Each structure stands twice: as C-alpha cells, then as structure tokens.
Amino acid sequence: MYKQKVIFVCTGNSARSQMAEGLLRHHAGERFEVFSAGLEPKGINPLSIKAMDEIGIDIRGHTSDSLKKYMGHHHFSHAFTVCSDADEKCPSVLWTNGKKYHWPFDDPAAATGSEEEQLAVFRRVRDEIDGKIRAWLTELGPNA
C-alpha cells in the first residue's frame, strides 16, 4: 500500500515536531510515512520523551534531523510547520507538490520553573498537537 509522506518542521526538532511525528505515527502510521526535521536541530528534549511516554508513545528511537536531510530527496504530500520561525524560514520548495499547513504551538522547550512545571507545558502542547492531528485526520477521512 502506498503511504503519503508527511513532515513536521520546527526550529530545533526537539519537542513539537518530535511529538507530532510520534502522535501521527501512533494514530495513522499505517496510512502515512511520517518524518520530522528542524532548521537547527538540537537533539530530542528529554521532557518530550517523558510527556510522550505518559500516553504510551515511545519516541526514544527518533532522531533530531536537519531539514536539509530531506530537501530534494523526498516528496511530501503534507508538510506542517509547528512554529512561526519555521513557517517564515522554511524553503517553499519543500511543499511545491504537496499541501502546506501552519500549526503554531508554544515552544515547550522554552518553559521555565521546576521540572514538573516545565513538564506541564510539554503535556499541554502535546495534547494540543494531538487534538490538531485527530481533527486533521477526521477532515481527511479514511480514504485520503
């Protein structure tokens, strides 16, 4: 079965795009080949892993990749920017043949306070991303 390719892009590829990749794989991995990338990859934030573990999704095997890794090598049916910085700076060639979406989410990696306070921000953003992905899948329908 042909799987459409989807990419989630943010600045650091450490939190939002990583969680989005894990969530879409979880909800519809049989339908989509899912990637994530960053303009300036920083490695996966440990709190991203922890927040996803809490809902039974393991993203430990993910890698924090540069968008350059995918440029010219993949055709993405759907490309999502999940932060305004990526939306402004992402090369438009990425989505010349597919659909481009901009879903801005707060950067949980910028959260301050105790680890528990920071984790609360990661959970909130994770749940917001999950809601957007579920709504998008519903809009697409089962045969898209």
Amino acid sitting at position 50: K
Question: What pLDDT does 94 receive?
Answer: 59
Q: Which of 6, 15, 82, 83 is catalytic?
A: 83
- 83 given a catalytic annotation: yes
Neighbours of 90 (CB within 10 A): 21
- 90 given a catalytic annotation: yes
Q: Which of 6, 10, 82, 109 is catalytic?
A: 10
Mean pLDDT by 10 residues, the chain (144 residues): 90 95 97 94 96 98 91 85 82 69 94 97 98 96 75
Pairing of the two strands 78-81 and 32-38: unpaired
Question: What pLDDT does 84 receive?
Answer: 80
Q: What is the DSSP letter of 39?
A: S
Question: What pLDDT does 74 receive?
Answer: 79
pTM to 2 decimal places:
0.93
- 56 given a catalytic annotation: no
Q: How far is CA 68 from CA 37, 80, 129, in A?
A: 9, 16, 24
CATH topology of domain 4-139: Rossmann fold (3.40.50)
C-alpha 134/C-alpha 42 separation (Å) is 27
Q: Which of 28, 90, 109, 125 is catalytic?
A: 90
Looking up tokens 């700076």 gives 89
Domain map (residue ranges) of the chain: 4-139
Q: Are 103 and 81 in contact, with CB atoms under 8 Å apart?
A: yes
